[in-house]
Amino acid sequence: MNVKRNASPSIAGLLVSTSTTLIALIMLLPIAALIYESIASHFVSVPELDTTFSDLADSVLSHYIFNSLSIVSGTLLFACLFAIAPAWWCAHYEFTGRKVLQWLMIFPLAIPAYISAYIYTDALDYAGPIQSSLRQVFAWQSPQDYWFFDIRSHWGASLMLGLALYPYIFLLLRNTFENRSQNLTQAAQIMGATPRKIFWTIHLPLARPSLAIGCTLVAMESLADYGTVQLFAISTLTTAIYDSWLVYGSLASAAKISCLTLLFVITLVALEKNSRKKQQHFDSRGGKACPKEKASNIKSAFIWFICGGIVCLGFFIPLLTLVSYCFDYWRENMNEVILTHSQSTFLLAATAALVATLLAILFNSQQRFIPSTKNQFKLTLSSLGYAIPGTVLAIGILIPLGQLDLWTNQFITSLGFEKVGLIFSGTSFALILAFVIRFSAISNGSIQAAYKTMPPNLDAASTMLKASKFKTFTKIHFPIMRPAVITAFLLVFIECVKELPASLLLRPFDFETLATYVYQFASDEQLEHAASGALLIIVVSLVPILLLSRSQKMH
């Protein structure tokens, strides 16, 4: 925190305000660089007119946009399906093994979507073991003889992404449901409302901010996905960005399409914000927490059946498949380099998560203390990075950092020293910056949700007692939102461990993260040979998930 307790309020305020502005600008830098790239070509005369964008627009761009939209909506559908009911069950009912189930439901977060997608396409493809054995049993000869769910379709990709991403919604919703007000329920019960009606008219609408934040995260993540959709042979806007930049070689048109993607996200966020602008949800938590209803045996069994099924699909089946790969290709997998890679991954992710969490606290508490359009704007800016596909972000970062390196070296050599090389763009600095920019939306979301449910009269009371803002923060805000802070840190950590495209491009020499190590095999469709690496990704992400479940239990 940049707030000094003894400094006079105006200086401290100025300090915070300047530093947040500065940070927001830095976080905006890659986007600014991209926008500049996308329009610069119109002003600078180039020898050969770059027609990539119009070529794409003429041929395939509309298909790509349609595919992107259908993947995003499909993923949202599946993610909500997997998250909402279980979140409610876990918060509302008491049943055998509820605590365990609560944990298990978050486990799929540990598996990167591209890994489970690989495993499922392998298993469910026409040439995979399931269809092959079906063909043997029923003596079918060709694909025309029977119908089977085509995994490499929009539905398949949405299902995979939904399975990998639903825990975001689950986590946020369960928290909100858990903290729901008992008074409202009782009032509704007195008025004779059925439990079903109470859920649909009171609890779900009250949980809308959490649901909206969760859905926005899922939507952005699925929009920016590259690995999974590529595996499913579905061309989306991300494909268009990759193609125009890396195949057509036109950064300008890649930047244009990225800006288009950004526009989608901003529209999405704005629509969502606008629709609940007039709503204000505060939870005046008086008295005890809402008691849990005891679930009947049949109900418990039903809950376990559904949730267990989701967890099996999202976690245990991929996990066991990886373990079996490990045994099948024992020799290739027993490799000590992966231990080094997991160490560096762990360190890198922890640093980035720490920075992202601190920034989220800074931005959100500023907006809390001094609510203004400007501060809200800064907050929104610092969350934009999530929507940029990793590769594009990597380029967006390389542009300004490369320039910075150039200047630094010019400066240093002008002083008569040796060149220092790429100290910004060629070190872990670039990677950490990328992670922070990309995943700040997650930490912001988590902290923001915590602030949203914190009644403002707490602040008023504190102000009346003449407590400084800093004191209000440390004595009141922080203790209340501690679980959210831990959640923010851990979620960002997990994402950093799994992140692939930006790591591929930005990592320094002789540096592999687990994800890039696994990818070099997966990209050649030989995930089997790096199954141990994939398992380590899961283990490294599971540790924070276990911690996460612990911190959540504290309510």
Which residues sit at the interface with other proteins, rule CB under 8 A?
Answer: 55-56, 59-60, 63, 126-127, 131-132, 141-143, 152, 232-233, 235, 242-243, 245-249, 251, 328, 351, 391, 394-395, 398-399, 402, 405-406, 409, 418-423, 425-429, 432, 504-505, 507-510, 516, 520-521, 523-525, 528
**Host H or E run for residue 4:** none
Mapped to the 3 state alphabet, what secondary structure does 143-162 carry?
A: HHHCCCCCCCCHHHHHHHHH
- Asked whether 548 and 495 are in contact (CB, 8 A), the reply is no
What sections of 422-477 are H helices per DSSP? 428-452, 457-464, 469-471
Of 192 and 510, CB closest to other proteins:
510
**Least separation in angstroms between CB 348 and other proteins:** 11
Of 300 and 427, CB closest to other proteins:
427
Phi, psi (rounded to 5 degrees) for 134: -60, -40
Of 37 and 459, CB closest to other proteins:
37
Of 126 and 302, CB closest to other proteins:
126
Q: Residue 284 has what DSSP assignment? A: -
Q: Which residues contact 530 (CB under 8 A, 6 or more apart)?
A: 332, 333, 517, 518, 520, 521, 522
Of 98 and 154, CB closest to other proteins:
154
Phi, psi (rounded to 5 degrees) for 294: -75, 130
Cα–Cα distance, 426 to 445 (Å, whole number): 30
**Least separation in angstroms between CB 77 and other proteins:** 23
Of 212 and 399, CB closest to other proteins:
399
**Least separation in angstroms between CB 152 and other proteins:** 6
**Least separation in angstroms between CB 482 and other proteins:** 26
Helix axes 428-452, 9-43, angle to 10 degrees: 120
**Least separation in angstroms between CB 7 and other proteins:** 21
Nearest Cα residue to 312 out of 119, 150, 174, 500: 119
CA distances from 102 to 96, 97, 173, 312, 484 (A): 11, 9, 12, 14, 17
Cβ-based neighbour number of residue 249 at 10 Å: 11
Cα–Cα distance, 547 to 490 (Å, whole number): 8
**Least separation in angstroms between CB 305 and other proteins:** 33
Of 143 and 455, CB closest to other proteins:
143
Of 403 and 457, CB closest to other proteins:
403
**Least separation in angstroms between CB 438 and other proteins:** 16
Of 406 and 460, CB closest to other proteins:
406
Q: Which residues contact 554 (CB under 8 A, 6 or more apart)?
A: 482, 483
Of 171 and 395, CB closest to other proteins:
395
Cα–Cα distance, 428 to 269 (Å, whole number): 31
**Least separation in angstroms between CB 127 and other proteins:** 4
Cα–Cα distance, 424 to 406 (Å, whole number): 10
Residue 43 Cα to chain centre, angstroms: 36
**Least separation in angstroms between CB 422 and other proteins:** 5
**Least separation in angstroms between CB 435 and other proteins:** 13
Please report the sign of the dihedral spanned by the C-alpha atoms of residue 233, residue 234, residue 238, residue 239: positive
